[in-house]
Amino acid sequence: MSASDKIAVPRSEKDINQPWVQQVFNKADPDVSIANVKIEGPIGEGQGYMNTLVAFLVTGSKNGKEDQLSLVAKLTNFKMMDTVDYMTAEDYLPLDIAESKFYSVAVPDLLSVFPATTKVSEDVVPVPKCYFATSDQTSKMSVRVMDNLKTQGFSIKPFPQPLNLQEMKLAVGALARIHGLSHRLELQSGVPLPDRYDWLLDFHLTKEESYGVSYKEGFKGFAEAFPDETDLLACLENLNTVPAVNEAVKDPSRVKVLSHADCWNNNIMFKYEEDKAIDVKLVDWQTPSYLTPTYDLVVLFMFQSWDIFSNQRDAILEHYHQELQTTLGENSGCRLFFISFINANL
């Protein structure tokens, strides 16, 4: 594709029109013809506010067969800069770029670990199907065009409800597939993921300041609610887990994988049948990182109920381990994760 044919990154929903969508689909398949694009307007779910999500319907055809897709364009939104003190545009932009690279580069790479003769569904990577993703350094805008999961029956569990046992098993199973496929990719290619992907984030350092702000706000609220708990307040005031976490994350002896790094309830969408979760997608991949697999598990467990952590943890971790071993394969030489190790590091 020449410079003049480069697909522009939309600045707003007004730029998402038939000619632009035609370019997007023809980049992958020149035989696709787009007849109509209907903008349904901005949407949003959960507690997120880092992007503008524009839903739209696309009607098109290929070889005389008409089809309709329900899509969403995820656009850079700088309004967040007006609401937080701990993040600048320079801090924020790498997140959008990283997500664009995750969908356009990493997801195809994860699918490539399977033999070419094996027909593998894209659903094996439990993320939204992405049709186009790119970033523009001039306008500092990014776009991701993905399936609109809401129209497929997926939803984010209302905040602050914790996940139940079935939802947790689906979530850790999805993480296990990402972790396992990335480890297989690393071993098959012989190239460490940080050397392969220069856009991976050092997420703990990226979030350290925001964590600090949240901690100070939480400590202040706790102190106001329990002023007589002087000993506990003294311990909490001096609490500093940053060195311990950094040491664990950077330990060269520990196996690391492609991690979501922000996998909490707000970044997980479930599909339900008769009130039971039957499918899952991990969304908001703006912080892909190279971390130990237990990092994602710890983040996920942090937002759950005491019952899930204390009474159901073993069953959940066993499910993660089983899904991980299935993904790694019996004869792949990748069986490096053990349930005892996972439990000990959670």
CATH no. for residue 237?
3.90.1200
pLDDT greater than 60 at residue 335: no
Q: How confident is the model at residue 84 (pLDDT cuts 50, 70, 90)?
A: low
Mean pLDDT of 92-115: 93
- 329, 181 contact by CB (below 8 A): no
The answer to whether residue 118 sits within a structural domain is no
**Number of structural domains the chain divides into:** 2
3-state SS assignment for residue 153: coil
Whether residues 195 and 176 share a domain: the answer is yes
pLDDT for residue 241: 64
Considering only residues 344 and 119, tell me which one the structure prediction assigns the higher pLDDT. Answer: 119
Mean pLDDT of 41-46: 72
pLDDT tens by residue, 261-279:
999 999 999 999 999 999 9
pLDDT greater than 70 at residue 224: yes
The answer to whether residue 114 sits within a structural domain is no
pLDDT greater than 50 at residue 246: yes
Whether residues 232 and 259 share a domain: the answer is yes
Considering only residues 199 and 344, tell me which one the structure prediction assigns the higher pLDDT. Answer: 199
Whether residues 72 and 193 share a domain: the answer is no
Whether residues 323 and 185 share a domain: the answer is yes
Whether residues 143 and 222 share a domain: the answer is no
pLDDT for residue 1: 42
Whether residues 169 and 318 share a domain: the answer is yes
Whether residues 164 and 25 share a domain: the answer is no
Mean pLDDT of 4-27: 91
The answer to whether residue 105 sits within a structural domain is no
The answer to whether residue 111 sits within a structural domain is no
Whether residues 147 and 264 share a domain: the answer is no
Q: How confident is the model at residue 3 (pLDDT cuts 50, 70, 90)?
A: very low
Inter-axis angle of helices 293-302 and 313-328, nearest 10: 150
Whether residues 77 and 144 share a domain: the answer is yes
Q: Please give the C-alpha separations between residue 184 and each of 112, 290, 304, 324, 327, in angstroms, as whole numbers.
A: 10, 14, 30, 11, 9
The answer to whether residue 208 sits within a structural domain is yes
Considering only residues 117 and 46, tell me which one the structure prediction assigns the higher pLDDT. Answer: 117
Measured distance CA(74)–CA(137) in Å, rounded: 17
Domain housing 20: 3-93+127-151
Mean pLDDT of 327-337: 65
Mean pLDDT of 98-125: 91
- Cβ-in-10-Å burial (0-12, 13-18, 19+) of 63 comes to exposed
pLDDT tens by residue, 312-328:
999 999 999 999 999 99
Whether residues 142 and 243 share a domain: the answer is no
pLDDT greater than 90 at residue 331: no
pLDDT for residue 105: 97
The answer to whether residue 172 sits within a structural domain is yes
pLDDT for residue 69: 97
pLDDT tens by residue, 128-185:
999 999 988 788 889 999 999 999 999 999 988 999 999 999 999 999 999 999 999 9
pLDDT for residue 345: 60
- 346, 298 contact by CB (below 8 A): yes
Whether residues 147 and 257 share a domain: the answer is no
Q: How confident is the model at residue 47 (pLDDT cuts 50, 70, 90)?
A: very low
From 37, 31, 1, select the one nearest 19 (Cα to Cα).
37
Whole-structure pTM value: 0.88
The answer to whether residue 244 sits within a structural domain is yes
pLDDT greater than 80 at residue 235: yes
The answer to whether residue 100 sits within a structural domain is no
User: Cα angle at 333 between 300 and 345, to 5 degrees?
Assistant: 30
CATH number at residue 88: 3.30.200
From 192, 168, 195, 184, select the one nearest 263 (Cα to Cα).
168
- 121, 127 contact by CB (below 8 A): no
- 126, 281 contact by CB (below 8 A): yes
How much of the chain, in percent, has pLDDT values that exceed 90?
Answer: 63
How much of the chain, in percent, has pLDDT values that exceed 70?
Answer: 84
What would the DSSP string read from start to end of 8-69? PPPSSGGG-SHHHHHHHHHHH-TTEEEEEEEEEEEE--TT--SEEEEEEEEEEEETTEEEEE
Measured distance CA(114)–CA(308) in Å, rounded: 34
What would the DSSP string read from start to end of 96-147? HHHHHHIIIIIHHHHHTTS-TTS---GGGS-S--EEEEEEETTTTEEEEEEE
312-329 burial, b for 16+ CB within 10 Å, e for fewer?
Answer: bbeebbebbbebbbebbe
Whether residues 281 and 134 share a domain: the answer is no
Q: Phi then psi for 228, rounded to 5 degrees?
A: -85, -10
Residues β-bridged to residue 58 = 37, 69
Element (DSSP H or E) covering residue 277 = strand 276-282
